Structure 1
């Protein structure tokens, strides 16, 4: 599942790439600061492109919250929902019948721009993190759903069954985030999409040859270490894995 991301591109880069504008210029200093590792379970703020305002980058809280909650209930909901994954990921196979996703999927789809994300590889009962990014270090567009709680956007990242590359890395869960290539980014936010259109987009696999992946420090998973540092996205080789990327 996709619980760890990296956001290092400047807002100007994201604006040019997605042809959007940051919703408030006062947000630039916040989101121009590179985050080499964002742990979803801390429910960080990230920029999203929401369907209802598809020309802007708006701040959202990672972890979708049901529409019937109020803003002062968000924190308590996250404490309760941690056993269900904290609302960080949504299985795309359930988006039309899940009690949260079904109310969002037709009118509140979003794009979550990231510079990369991390997935675990299991070997001899140990987890080894791998970093995924665009081979040319371009932004990656993850497909998501969102809810609006008071003045807050809360969002989740869609996942699906792994392609061969992801299955080799994420070898226990065999899942991956839904990544949209440039031809599908605009389509994902179109209001006239049918259920079949949405399914077709979700089931379109991102070209694996456009991705770069490699193993990184296991300190990514350590609560005792500050892993939001530039070195966390540097390659670290583990000979015991026998994987070559």
Structure 2
């Protein structure tokens, strides 16, 4: 599961396959949900907006998208679709071509989400922050869609929602210490290929590989990170040494977690 993202205040310069990328922020859609104007950097939760990289006419740009995909065909107003599609923040690679919400976007609308890192909960109460030891951006593979409300009550607050989901795979060896799923992480030529239009299903499936890297590092952070309203950088502060790369055993459950700080409490 990848349900909390942490980004950079300003996305660092990116280079893929030896090619430096010139990235510009695209204008906000005039009818986009007003929530997209609220910048969130730390502890980005489902329904928050995050910065996402998309390709248009061979140019990569930054767009802000809701974390949790709302398919274009969804019926109802914003409140209704928010209830229906509250768990679409991750798209499992094994079923992504079969489920109605994802099978169109995976073929036509793919993106990359640059993150400083993300949070995982091995026991649903104890958060670990996962990042690269060199603090380079981690590029998570995603899919996106645009939904438009036809309900007049949504017009004032913005009738359109541009949204995305993070694609997940089985975990690599290190990530298996924390969860049985991992975000699909792409680098170099694979990241560029993911963004290209015209990719077929077989070519995309070839990219669905667990990520292995000695540069990944995870450390335990305070259970205050469990609070969705906590958007402070303190949510990422280490309170224990990093988990070693060596070994295959899952991390041990921390005794007596604070019941007042359960995951997703608001």
TM-score per shorter chain, which class? 0.7 to 0.9
Report the CA distance between 1:101 and its aligned residue. 0.8
Aligned to 2:233: 230
Aligned to 2:114: 113
Deviations 1:138-171 (A, max 9, x none): 111111111112343211111111112111112x
Aligned to 2:31: none
Report the CA distance between 1:52 and its aligned residue. 4.4
1:128 counterpart SS class: coil
1:35 counterpart SS class: coil
Q: Which of 115, 140, 145 matches 2:138?
A: 140
More helix by share: 1
Are the equivalent residues in 1 in contact too, given 2:42–2:233 (CA < 8 A)?
Answer: yes
2:121 counterpart SS class: strand
Q: Which of 225, 228, 231 matches 1:220?
A: 225
1:164 matches 2:159: no
Report the CA distance between 1:69 and its aligned residue. 3.0
CA distance in 1, matches of 2:126, 2:6: 17
CA distance in 1, matches of 2:90, 2:84: 16
Aligned to 1:7: 7
CA RMSD of aligned residues (A): 2.8
Q: Which runs of 5+ in 1 are unaligned?
A: none
The number of equivalent residue pairs is 223
Q: Which runs of 5+ in 2 are unaligned?
A: 29-35, 149-159, 242-250, 255-266
Aligned to 1:23: 26
Deviations 1:22-69 (A, max 9, x none): 1139xxxx99966221122xx111111224465211111111112113
1:44 matches 2:48: yes
Report the CA distance between 1:115 and its aligned residue. 1.1
Aligned to 2:260: none
Are the equivalent residues in 2 in contact too, given 1:65–1:77 (CA < 8 A)?
Answer: yes
1:97 counterpart SS class: coil
The change in CA–CA distance for 1:107 and 1:33 in structure 2 (over 3 A counts) is closer
Deviations 1:157-204 (A, max 9, x none): 11111112111112xxx011111123321110111322111011122x
Are the equivalent residues in 1 in contact too, given 2:96–2:106 (CA < 8 A)?
Answer: yes
Are the equivalent residues in 2 in contact too, given 1:10–1:32 (CA < 8 A)?
Answer: no
Q: Which is higher, the Rg of structure 1 or of structure 2?
A: 2
Are the equivalent residues in 2 in contact too, given 1:52–1:107 (CA < 8 A)?
Answer: no
Are the equivalent residues in 2 in contact too, given 1:8–1:34 (CA < 8 A)?
Answer: no
The change in CA–CA distance for 1:32 and 1:55 in structure 2 (over 3 A counts) is farther
Aligned to 2:184: 178
CA distance in 1, matches of 2:102, 2:38: 30
TM-score between the two structures when normalised by the length of structure 2: 0.74
TM-score between the two structures when normalised by the length of structure 1: 0.80
CA distance in 2, matches of 1:183, 1:9: 26
More strand by share: 1
